[in-house]
Amino acid sequence: MFVYIWHTLFFDPVYNCLIFFIDAVPGGDVGVAIIFTTITVKLILLPLSIKAAKTQTVMREIEPKLKKLKEDVVDKQEQAKAMMGLYKEAGINPFASVVLMFLQIPIIISLYIAVSRGGGIPLPDINVALLYSFIPNPEVITTVFLGMFDILDKSLILALLAGGAQFIHAQLSIPKSAPRDPDAPPSMKDDFARNMQLQMKYVLPVVITVFAYTISASIALYFFVSNVMAIAQEYIVKRHRVQE
């Protein structure tokens, strides 16, 4: 069952999308095909991505209300109910970002396997047994991205670009931590939230850079294109929010 779900929903669609673009782009450039595959994936996930970005924007707007609610309602169960009511009133789902993150994990794994192993046959060879009937078998395939470096190898430049794009996106999407009130008693929950924000802003880009470099240039390219699109989306959502 798991294998069927994996191939039906994730690996086979990603593999076929990649092969389609390899056949479509001039010279069968796998790197360019990865860019178009990433754009396609992001467009498919766009409604959920916009919802997640809007959620983060609205969460920043209702933060004062949430803080007051936590101060007024002491009982944890009642507090949770009141918070969900506030989220419903604001028209957001606080778990949208989590769902989006978990959806992208199997997509990243699928792309890596599609490029490095190809369902048992690594590129530049094609596993024709996995191709849909309407996907052509490319006649020309090159793994040298834009004539510069092999997309199957590691690339420090692409890894740094991926980490840099992640850093910019984090600065735009994650709100600044509220200053600690010197008169307020220490709060483990507030300290944990503050630390998480700092890690998302400064540690995650480093993790992305190291991960992208360690795995392959194909994953680094995916992260870079994905984050560039996320940055553009963040600007669009914020601009639309201001105009509402």
The DSSP bridge partners found for residue 152 are none
Q: What is the pLDDT of residues 188-235, one digit of tens each?
A: 555 555 666 677 778 889 999 999 999 889 999 999 999 999 888 888
CA distances (Å), 175 to each of 70, 120, 136, 170, in order?
Answer: 19, 44, 46, 9
SS3 content of the chain, % helix, strand, coil (to 5): 75, 0, 25
Q: What is the pLDDT of residues 64-98, one digit of tens each?
A: 787 787 777 777 787 778 888 888 887 777 777 77
What pTM value is reported for the model? 0.80
